[in-house]
Amino acid sequence: HVQLVESGGGSVQAGGSLGLSCAASGATYSSYCMAWFRQAPGKQREGVAAIDSDGNDASTKYADSVKGRFTISQDNAKNTVYLQMSSLKPDDTAMYYCAAARPGAYCDISRESDFVYWGQGTQVTVS
């Protein structure tokens, strides 16, 4: 079982930057595909970015809406996944969730059902 705790949310002006962290515990963290999802009021939850267990750039995936602006990374020594967000827009306002996929799952943010461990979320507000 994996426990996930997000931090780093807050309020920022449009065009600004913000970084999120997700600390994982309870299992062999490096075995999992990790991802960030977000949900805005009145909208469905959507995948934002994912990173596979090997952690190199080739294993990252992004939603089209955030490509070139958001960067997902991980530090296996710290069991932590990060989401660095820049050039933020009001449309990026949402609750952001960290998630871990079941072991062996294909690492893809469009396969939300594969993500079985979730954090409580951290709010990001862009004005």
- Span 12-40, pLDDT tens digits: 999 999 999 999 988 665 667 999 999 99
Is residue 52 pLDDT above 80, yes or no?
yes
Complete DSSP assignment for 25-91:
ESS-GGGS-EEEEEE-TTS--EEEEEE-TT--GGGEEE-TTTTTTEEEEEETTTTEEEEEE-S--GG
- Span 84-119, pLDDT tens digits: 999 999 999 999 999 999 888 888 999 999 999 999
Q: How many CB atoms lie within 10 A of CB 55?
A: 17
List the one residue out of 105, 106, 104, 102 whose CA is nearest residue 116.
Answer: 102
Per-residue confidence (pLDDT) for residue 93, from 0 to 100:
98
Residues 85 and 92 sit within 8 Å (Cβ to Cβ): yes
